[in-house]
Amino acid sequence: MSTTLENIQKQISENPILIYMKGTPQLPQCGFSAQTVQALMSCGERFAFVNILDNPDIRSELPKYANWPTFPQLWVEGELVGGCDIVVEMYQNGELEPLIKEAAQRASAQQPQDE
C-alpha cells in the first residue's frame, strides 16, 4: 500500500496539468477553486484534478509537500504554479495560456502514437 506522499508524487508526475481543488471543475466547492478552474478551462486544454474534499489525507499532506498552505494548487509539469491569486493574475496578463498549451503539447508529444 502506498503512502499519501507517494500518491501525491505519482499524481503530480503522471499529470502534466493538475489542479488540487475543493470540489470538481463542474461543481467547485469554494470561490477560489471556481476562479482558478475557470482560468484554467479558458486555456482550452484538458487537465486532471483531485478533489481534496474527498481526499482528507491529501488535503492534510499536500501543503507540507508543496510548502504551500492553501488550495487550490495548480501544478504544471511537476512544478507548483500557485494558487488562485497567482493563476488568475497569470491568466489576466497572458502568461497562463502559453504555459498550459506548451505543457499539453509536450505531454501529447510524449504519448505513444498509434501506428
Report whether 59 belongs to an annotated binding site.
yes
Report whether 46 belongs to an annotated binding site.
no
Report whether 85 belongs to an annotated binding site.
yes
Domains of the chain in sequence order: 4-108 (3.40.30.10)
Grid look-up 491568466 returns 91
Backbone φ and ψ for 79, nearest 5 degrees, come out as -115, 135
Report whether 49 belongs to an annotated binding site.
no
Q: What is the pLDDT along the chain (115 residues), one digit of tens a residue?
A: 579 999 999 999 999 999 999 999 999 999 999 999 999 999 999 999 999 999 999 999 999 999 999 999 999 999 999 999 999 999 999 999 999 999 999 998 876 655 4
Tell me if 69 sits within 8 A of 13, measured CB to CB.
Answer: no
